[in-house]
Amino acid sequence: MTDISRVLSRADENLPSSLDKLFELLRIKSISTDPAFKADVRKAADWLVAYLSSIGFTASVRDTSGHPMVVAHHDGASPNAPNLLFYGHYDVQPVDPIELWENDPFAPAVKTGDSGRKIITGRGTSDDKGQLMTFVEACRAYKETTGALPCRITILFEGEEESGSPSLKPFLKAHADELKADFALVCDTGMWDPETPAIAAGLRGLVGEEIVITAADRDLHSGMFGGAAANPIHILSDILAGLHDATGTVTLPGFYHGVEEVPADIRATWDKLGATTEKFLGEIGLSVPSGEKGRSVLELTWARPTAEVNGIVGGYTGEGFKTVIAAKASAKVSFRLVGKQDPALIRESFRAYVRSKIPADCSVEFHPHGGSPAIQLPYDSVLLNKAKDALSAEWPKPAVIIGMGGSIPIVGDFQKLLGMESLLVGFGLSDDRIHSPNEKYELNSFHKGIRSWVRILQALA
Amino acid sequence: MTDISRVLSRADENLPSSLDKLFELLRIKSISTDPAFKADVRKAADWLVAYLSSIGFTASVRDTSGHPMVVAHHDGASPNAPNLLFYGHYDVQPVDPIELWENDPFAPAVKTGDSGRKIITGRGTSDDKGQLMTFVEACRAYKETTGALPCRITILFEGEEESGSPSLKPFLKAHADELKADFALVCDTGMWDPETPAIAAGLRGLVGEEIVITAADRDLHSGMFGGAAANPIHILSDILAGLHDATGTVTLPGFYHGVEEVPADIRATWDKLGATTEKFLGEIGLSVPSGEKGRSVLELTWARPTAEVNGIVGGYTGEGFKTVIAAKASAKVSFRLVGKQDPALIRESFRAYVRSKIPADCSVEFHPHGGSPAIQLPYDSVLLNKAKDALSAEWPKPAVIIGMGGSIPIVGDFQKLLGMESLLVGFGLSDDRIHSPNEKYELNSFHKGIRSWVRILQALA
């Protein structure tokens, strides 16, 4: 029996006790947004420190100005073993409306789900206590089997992820030397489907910008001034309509600089995932892809940049009608970025375009609302492909390298503050109802999640 | 001495007593919007009936479900004399904020205004008690001098003009036979400047329309769906931006059907009024005419049709930023109409245009908000030109035929319900502060206004 087979067997044997430990953690009401649960959040941190210590980590609770961090270290089997930072969060979402829960959210249980598969019910099962425990239990199985861990591991568990992570950046900055690793493992994402594990290799970046256009120095009567006075809603509409051409392409000069095509082999795996336009858009009541023509919905949302108006307001918007020409109109516009698009350049290109459309007697104000570049693990990255092979060995179907349309702030922070790339692997499913009543985690996700990390640790060693 | 000279002299001699009578009416707090003044409103109606009776009219208060109407009749000098309906309103605006008044709003006085000219101060002096009394006092001077009136006169004074005239239409319908005349005289408008009287011959019509565009069946996360899902704000912006071409012309098919050019001689008088782009737009902080190119600001606001967006809203419009793709976006759009533009056709053309821009998987709802055609006295109308000559004889400068960018509902009602055209003559000035503290009416407007009606009555006889 090889080492890895022995570790996997150990993980299987451990499953009942792994579940027991998970349940202990799930019973702690570590709701970070509600001050009433402040002590519970700390209790969860203390529990993690105690448990990590019991399985061989050097672990401690670290105070912040908010909820504490848990940091734990373990040496690797050899000095040359890679150095990994594992991230998860032990805080959970509130449980309101409590009356919609079929089971007590803090009395976890294993049940048979609607799918016929076994599920673990309770708040935090999928987001993120169940997920982080897959890694902890993988480490335990390794340690118990081989007496060591194949890589040098630092664990960072956060208690404020559901509250906007106010302490995270300062903490990363203050402890950069301690936390910096060869790369990070982040376990807070999902599988493609119950049989297909996924690694998120690309996360789109974001530029947010608000524009406020001012025309006359007061609201005007459209009878007295209509036809002569500038209408800021017209100017704004014209600006927004001009952001895309008839093919759905964004028109800003230089916008596609740094955008690379998805490699053909990756695109081929996406095409086989069955996310047809009908299925993807059908779920939200739509059927016609609105973005760039000739690209699949997955490509459009994972690997192509966008310009979207997220809000617009101007003039009279109440009941009935008022024949006013507004003095001001405004819009909030965001750009999702991919590849090497530069947020600063995109913002400047947008502003220059807007300014070029403002009549001489009108004015525009710009209010920036954040900007971060896309994050992209190179598709030929050794890290990525080792993890992919490890996951493919565990699950019925090969792992897919996917993109994510939105951003995950922690990944940007790791890159910016610690110069470290992240591997995003998780075992959640889209029907896990995270943030909602009746959150669940598949028992299979927990069990094979543990086994997956065993394989990944071995592959990376 | 001709009749007209004698009547004018009489009007001059009467001025002190005319002012006394006006002051009696001004002292009555006939604020129609505030139920606390209900009895005062009726008191004003009673006062008018008593006064009109005293000068030879057959006058009565007519109850409505709101404030009463005053109706008064007087025969003409001959059975062939034209039959005129004179309209004014005896209710006034509230006086808040009272602390900004330099004089008690209901204690009228003659003072020297900032211009050095004499003014009558108080609520309702210009809007509309001072104005309606110019006509009453013209009738009195005529009657006292000649023992008769040159035309058959019906007077209609409304007590709900400042409250949206809820009883007016039902009253016109119920008393159509009694009120129908050859045409109406409406005294609720202004002069071009203190030396130049004006007749409003054109009032733009209005079509109001609200559109609500629905894309997905819920608000979406722009990270997950941006680039693939339709964004209703984009669709709406595109629709609104497409309403005008680069020359400011409205693009709807058939939009300009029924629009006629202003005759060159009328346009020439407008050009001489000194309403330069700089002056007209400068007052509201603008300098660049926004509508159709190559037309003056007066032409644009008086005689050209428009499409204006009066309100727009969609997505997140609060503080900060939310990367949402809205399910819905809506706009309120109005069209000002001129000439013979048909409101129903304009609405249908707009709806057809909007529908043509809605993607197959999105939908649009339309909510109509009123529609009325433009009103235009033909520039060669005998009525108009007689009144113009009469006014020109009275004032230092010739009368100008102007347009009005907005609508005056009563004029449309007279046309629609009584088949009657209206002559809009009034002596207000743009600095009369109607609806505001320190309302005033020029003593000259009152005096020469009386003399103007004497001349107009004689010209129309």
**What whole-number distance in Å separates Cα of residue A170 and Cα of residue A166?**
8
What sign does the CA torsion over B98, B103, B109, B112 have?
A: negative
Selected residue of B207, B221, B225, B330 to mutate for chain A interface (largest A Cβ count, 10 A): B225
> Taking CB atoms and an 8 Å cutoff, what residues of chain B touch A287?
360-361
CB count within 10 Å of CB A63 equals 12
Q: What is the pTM of this model?
A: 0.88
Pick from B240, B312, B334: CB nearest A323: B334
B294 secondary structure, DSSP code: T
Pick from A224, A225, A234: CB nearest B240: A234
Task: Outline where A163-319 has alpha helix (H).
Answer: 168-174, 176-179, 222-225, 232-241, 264-271, 277-282, 297-302
Contact assignment for B223 to A317 by CB distance below 8 Å: no
Q: Which residues have C-beta within 8 Å of that of residue A84, sequence separation ≥ 6?
A: A151, A152, A153, A154, A181, A182, A183, A184, A185, A460
Contact assignment for A310 to B297 by CB distance below 8 Å: no
Q: Cα-flanking dihedrals φ and ψ of residue A224, to 5°?
A: -75, -35
**What whole-number distance in Å separates Cα of residue A426 and Cα of residue A189?**
4
Q: Which residues have C-beta within 8 Å of that of residue A385, sequence separation ≥ 6?
A: none
This model of the complex carries an ipTM of: 0.88
**What whole-number distance in Å separates Cα of residue A296 and Cα of residue B390?**
75
- The alpha-carbon gap from B349 to the nearest alpha carbon of chain A, in Å, equals 19
Nearest to A164 by CA among A115, A91, A75: A91
Pairing of strands B152-158, B69-74: antiparallel
Report DSSP letters for A388-406, one per residue: HHHHHHHSSS--EEEEESS
**Which residues in chain B land under pLDDT 50?**
1
> Taking CB atoms and an 8 Å cutoff, what residues of chain A touch B285?
216-218, 361
Report DSSP letters for B295-329, one per residue: --HHHHHHTS-EEEEEEEEEE--SSS---EE-SEE
Contact assignment for A309 to B206 by CB distance below 8 Å: no
What sign does the CA torsion over A241, A247, A253, A259 have?
A: positive
Sequence-distant contacts of B76-80: CB under 8 A, at least 24 apart: B76/B148, B76/B149, B76/B150, B76/B151, B76/B152, B76/B153, B76/B461, B77/B146, B77/B148, B77/B149, B77/B150, B77/B151, B77/B461
> Residue A413, preceding bond cis, omega within 30 degrees?
no
Q: Which token pair is B442?
A: 């020029």
Task: Outline where B175-243 has alpha helix (H).
Answer: 176-179, 222-225, 232-241
Q: Cα-flanking dihedrals φ and ψ of residue B344, to 5°?
A: -65, -40
**What whole-number distance in Å separates Cα of residue A131 and Cα of residue A185?**
12
Strands (E), A197-321: 198-203, 205-214, 220-221, 306-315
Sheet holding A328-337: strands in order across? A363-372, A205-214, A328-337, A306-315, B306-315, B328-337, B205-214, B363-372
Q: Which token pair is B359?
A: 């993607």
Residue A305's region, left for phi above 0, alpha for psi from -120 to 50, else beta, is: beta
**What whole-number distance in Å separates Cα of residue B136 and Cα of residue B51?**
9
Residues A454, A448 contacting (CB under 8 angstroms): no
Nearest to A240 by CA among B49, B309, B178, B319: B309
A256 secondary structure, DSSP code: T
Q: Which amino acid type is present at position A13?
A: E
Selected residue of A212, A297, A312 to mutate for chain B interface (largest B Cβ count, 10 A): A312
Residue of A nearest to B232 (CA): A309
Report DSSP letters for B376-417, one per residue: E--TT-HHHHHHHHHHHHHSSS--EEEEESS--HHHHHHHHH
Q: Which residues have C-beta within 8 Å of that of residue A265, sequence separation ≥ 6?
A: none
Reading chain A (461 residues) residue by residue, the pLDDT tens digits are: 468 999 999 999 999 999 999 999 999 999 999 999 999 999 999 999 999 999 999 999 999 999 999 999 999 999 899 999 999 999 999 998 899 999 999 999 999 999 999 999 999 999 999 999 999 999 999 999 999 999 999 999 999 999 889 999 999 999 999 999 999 999 999 999 999 999 999 999 999 999 999 999 999 988 889 999 999 999 999 999 999 999 999 999 999 999 999 999 999 999 999 999 999 999 999 999 999 999 999 999 999 999 999 999 999 999 888 889 999 999 999 999 999 999 999 999 999 999 999 999 999 999 999 888 999 999 999 999 999 999 999 999 999 999 998 878 899 999 999 999 999 999 999 899 998 999 999 999 999 999 999 999 999 99
Contact assignment for A222 to B325 by CB distance below 8 Å: no
Selected residue of A231, A236, A304 to mutate for chain B interface (largest B Cβ count, 10 A): A231
Residues A420, A414 contacting (CB under 8 angstroms): yes
Residue A235's region, left for phi above 0, alpha for psi from -120 to 50, else beta, is: alpha
B263 secondary structure, DSSP code: P
pLDDT tens by residue, B186-210: 999 999 999 999 999 999 999 999 9
- Domain architecture of chain B: domains with CATH: 3-202+375-460 (3.40.630.10), 205-259+305-372 (3.30.70.360)
Sheet holding A118-121: strands in order across? A109-112, A118-121, A440-442
Is B360 in a helix, a strand, or coil?
Answer: coil
- For B6, B12, B76, the CA distances from B146, given in Å and listed in that order, are 9, 15, 12
Pick from A292, A320, A330: CB nearest B369: A320
Q: Residue A98, exposed/middle/buried by CB under 10 A (0-12, 13-18, 19+)?
A: exposed
Crossing angle, helix B38-54 and helix B3-26, to 10 degrees?
160
Q: What CA dihedral angle connects B140, B144, B146 and B149, to 10 degrees?
A: 20
Distance of CA B225 to the CA centre of its chain: 49
Q: Which token pair is A11?
A: 């993980």
Contact assignment for A334 to B323 by CB distance below 8 Å: yes
Residues B441, B130 contacting (CB under 8 angstroms): yes
Contact assignment for B310 to A324 by CB distance below 8 Å: yes
Q: Which residues have C-beta within 8 Å of that of residue B306, sequence separation ≥ 6?
A: A222, A226, A227, B250, B291, B300, B335, B336
Residue of A nearest to B204 (CA): A223
